[in-house]
Structure 1
């Protein structure tokens, strides 16, 4: 689980620096890992971050889809912040 968390952190840092394309690359790698691990919490967090990166890049329809996927995962798995 450490690698997916590190990728998420790198994505957050990239977003704060205004580097949306780099953030998107980190989130896509994290997304792949979370799907392979069947880790819904990490995947929901990743999709939320991915949506933000896509939105910063002007790709609003894709951003909305990522946010909706994240919301669906949260609802389906009863996820919430601890």
Structure 2
């Protein structure tokens, strides 16, 4: 369920710009930033860029993936 929230105009404009680049909705961009911030606070030893990239990878399609097979099990 969505909930209307008031945010600063400059934050809205930043989210709008970034959402277009990342092909997300404005609400989706703000939700992504919130998830990154929350995960970064929960994992202060990890770089924020690693956290953001890891979360972004979760939304990528999984249809064309090749499973990882360790070399020790490939033979």
TM-score when normalising by structure 2: 0.30
**Higher share of residues assigned helix:** 1
TM-score when normalising by structure 1: 0.28
Asked which structure has the greater RCO (Cα within 8 Å, sep 6+), the reply is: 1
| Rg comparison, structure with higher value | 2
